[in-house]
């Protein structure tokens, strides 16, 4: 795998995300419990992949700033606040004949229903989910979308495109693709724009990774404490 990841700058940024997405697609496909077990598998795989690509993707470095905190909190408020006011991606896809679209089975996301209310396994998998969405998802997604997709749309020689160069077509296309990766597509589009703005403003990826982590961690806490399993 290290040979594949180091074969090109694109491979180092695309292959980890592709593996992560494949494991995500398997969640819940082998019984309800597989949603949790595959989340654990993709979290562990994601950690290993981040370790493998760290020397290859020099921009994958966490950075802290007040802008990152503000964007992270703002995206959280938007993600939760907008949710009741527009149809989810799975509903839209179903209407145009593309099946269920993004995940819609809330029961597959709630470990309490699978392993028993507050059982050790349920608590374990809730912790895995929160930790995974905080420390694994942000670097993998930001490297793929903000470092690779945005710049590759601008130019196949994407490393020659500065991180702080605003380009309208890549900006909006990347936000759309990022948005429809999520069931909450509208919030996802706005979220993608916010994280891309951070990269453009700071000329580095780290602030967007931090903002993404803040959003995801607090959203995970919200899900667990409020029973808002639709966000998983």
Q: How long a stretch of residues is the chain?
A: 232
The fraction of the chain above a pLDDT of 70, given in percent, is: 96
Taking residues 196-218, what's their average pLDDT? Answer: 98
Residue 106: per-residue pLDDT: 45
Residue found by looking up tokens 């004949």 in the block:
97
**Rounded CA separation 139/212 (Å):** 9
Does residue 186 surpass a pLDDT of 90? yes
Sequence-distant contacts of 96-100: CB under 8 A, at least 24 apart: none
C-alpha 29/C-alpha 223 separation (Å) is 22
pLDDT tens digits, 22-59: 999 999 899 999 999 999 999 999 999 999 999 999 99
Whether the pLDDT of residue 145 is over 90: the answer is yes
Task: Record the tokens describing residue 188, joined without a space.
Answer: 């996802």
Confidence bin at 96 (pLDDT 50/70/90) = confident
Domain residue extents for the chain: 61-231
pLDDT higher than 70, residue 100: no
Given a contact cutoff of 8 angstroms between Cβ atoms, the answer to whether 62 and 198 are in contact is: no
What's the rounded Cα separation, in Å, for the pair 126 and 109? 9
Tell me the mean pLDDT in the region 160-175: 98
Note the pLDDT of residue 107: 47
Phi-psi map region of 119: left, alpha, beta (phi>0 left; psi -120 to 50 alpha):
beta
- The candidate with the shortest Cα–Cα distance to 64, out of 163, 164, 209, 200, is 209
In sequence order, which ranges of the chain are alpha helices (DSSP H)? Answer: 2-5, 9-25, 34-53, 66-82, 89-95, 106-109, 111-115, 120-135, 137-142, 150-154, 168-179, 185-202, 206-226
CA dist., res. 29 & res. 155, Å (int): 37
- How sure is the predictor about 132, in pLDDT bands with cuts at 50, 70 and 90? very high
Q: Please give the mean pLDDT across all residues of the chain.
A: 94
- pLDDT per residue as tens digits for the range 70-85: 999 999 999 999 999 9
CA 79 to chain centre: 13
11 vs 32: CA distance, rounded Å: 33
């Amino acid at each position: 795998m290290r040979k594949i990841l180091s074969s090109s700058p694109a491979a180092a940024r695309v292959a980890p995300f592709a593996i992560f997405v494949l494991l995500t697609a398997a969640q819940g496909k082998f019984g309800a419990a597989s949603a949790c077990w595959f989340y654990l598998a993709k979290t562990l795989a994601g950690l290993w992949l981040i370790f493998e690509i760290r020397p290859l993707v020099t921009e994958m470095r966490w950075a802290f700033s007040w802008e990152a905190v503000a964007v992270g909190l703002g995206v959280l408020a938007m993600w939760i606040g907008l949710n009741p006011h527009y149809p989810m991606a799975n509903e839209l896809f179903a209407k145009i004949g593309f099946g269920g679209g993004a995940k819609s089975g809330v029961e597959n996301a709630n470990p309490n229903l699978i392993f028993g209310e507050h059982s050790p396994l349920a608590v374990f998998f809730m912790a895995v989910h929160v930790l995974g969405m905080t420390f694994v998802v942000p670097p993998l997604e930001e490297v793929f979308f903000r470092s690779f997709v945005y710049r590759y749309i601008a130019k196949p020689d994407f490393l020659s495109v500065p991180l702080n160069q605003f380009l309208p077509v890549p900006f909006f296309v990347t936000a759309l693709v990022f948005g429809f990766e999520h069931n909450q597509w509208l919030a996802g589009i706005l979220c993608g724009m916010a994280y891309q703005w951070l990269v453009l403003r700071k000329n580095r990826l780290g602030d967007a990774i931090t903002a993404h982590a803040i959003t995801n961690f607090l959203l995970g806490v919200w899900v667990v404490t409020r029973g808002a399993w639709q966000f998983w």
